[in-house]
Amino acid sequence: MYNNYLACEKCGVELTRENQKQQLDSEGFMHSYCAACYKEKFPK
CATH number at residue 29: 3.30.60
What type of residue is 41?
K
Give the whole-angstrom CA distance, residue 31 versus residue 41.
12
Cα–Cα–Cα angle for 28, 23, 6, nearest 5°? 105
pLDDT band for position 37 (50/70/90)? very high
Q: How confident is the model at residue 3 (pLDDT cuts 50, 70, 90)?
A: low
Classified as helix, coil or strand, 37 is helix
Range of the domain at 20: 1-44
Q: How far apart are CA 29 and CA 43, in angstroms?
A: 20
- pLDDT confidence of residue 25: 94
Q: How many domains does the chain have?
A: 1
Q: Measure the CA–CA gap between 42 and 1, rounded to whole angstroms.
A: 30
